[in-house]
Amino acid sequence: MDHFTRTTSRGYPDVVYEPGSDVAGYTIDALVGSGSSADVYRVHRGDDRRSEALKVLHSDETGNTRAAERFEREFTIASLLDHPNIVTMYTRGEIPPDSQAIRRAQALGLPADRVPPTLWIAMQYVDGPAATALIPSPTTEPEVPTIVSVAQQSAAAIDFAHSREVLHRDVKPANILLTSTRADTDALLSDFGIAQLIDDNRPLARNGRVQGSIAYASPELLTARQLSPATDEYAFACTLTELLTGAPPFPRATAFAITNAHLRDDPPLLTRRRPWLPSALNSVFAKALAKDPADRYSTCAEFADIVARNLRDVPVPQPTTPRRPWRRF
């Protein structure tokens, strides 16, 4: 097994696998992403060259009970959801610490029995970026047909999860993955790490901090009230606001200011950000971003379809600067 070891912020030795390494029966092809809690590799099995994604939790996070719970929850809940617009889970497992990891832990003053195994999940590999690639800058314009398609596919995925009694709780551009051919763009909803069942009464906050991404968080999520499918719809509306205008509904300088805006400020007028957008979208988004969940649309698909109808045949101005291409053919 070819790898090098880094020391994490919590003092644990942590492995980074190099191309060609054999890990849990998979061959590493490339490291494709690295976050605060896990690395994601493109891998294949044996002679089967079909790519899969292997998500490997960092060693110190494996020893973190909450992080390990979130990792396990991502697999357990997403495995309930068989849908073409939701990333498919395949299997999961753990890698015991090897002798090198144990020796390095002891050199750092950590007892050998505190070196946790490495948790991993094998899932569908998506050969494309997240929907963050579609967010326009101040000098570019949104790819409206692509965004409409991504919105309707994402809405179908979210509504399907709701039909299976699952709330995603972290809908945002970074958790919608894209893959493209010359004719179409496919969107797949990912990262069910903080998802919950609709009737789940687990605490919504840890040490006073709400779990989720605050820029897309609904008032009921921020105030630890009862969640519902409308909670994901609010986050979905925040996501579409950003994809169409370049910023989420309430871009503010601090987390406190963003929270206060979600709770008290009126939804933004999209036409103030992009004057060429149809004025009817202002009221459409105002409903999806209503403070009271009961005032929102009944489903994400209903909202996405109304957005699509309003954007049909709308001329998009030429951007000041060209967009960077993101498609891979």
The pair of structure tokens assigned to 270 is 């999209």
Q: Which pLDDT does position 175 carry in this prediction?
A: 95
Residue ranges of the chain that CATH labels 3.30.200.20: 3-124
Beta bridge partners of 26: 23
Q: How many residues does the chain have?
A: 329
**In this structure, CATH architecture of domain 3-124:** 2-Layer Sandwich (3.30)
List per-block mean pLDDT (blocks of 10 residues) for the chain, which spans 329 residues. 52 73 92 85 90 87 70 91 96 81 68 77 94 94 95 98 96 94 84 89 56 92 94 98 97 95 97 97 98 98 98 86 64
> Active site includes 170?
yes
Q: Which pLDDT does position 156 carry in this prediction?
A: 98
Quickly list DSSP for 157-200.
Answer: HHHHHHHTTEE-S--SGGGEEEEE-SS-EEEEE---TT-EETT-
Q: Which pLDDT does position 63 carry in this prediction?
A: 56
The fold of 131-311 is: Transferase(Phosphotransferase); domain 1 (1.10.510)
Residue ranges of the chain that CATH labels 1.10.510.10: 131-311
Q: Which pLDDT does position 15 carry in this prediction?
A: 74
181: exposed, middle or buried (Cβ count in 10 Å: 0-12, 13-18, 19+): exposed
Q: With left for phi above 0 and alpha for psi between -120 and 50, is residue 119 left, alpha or beta?
A: beta
Catalytic residue among 170, 200, 265, 305: 170
Residue 39's nearest CA partner among 17, 11, 20, 19 is: 17
Amino acid code (one letter) for 53: A
Q: Which pLDDT does position 329 carry in this prediction?
A: 47
Distance CA 20, CA 18 (A): 6
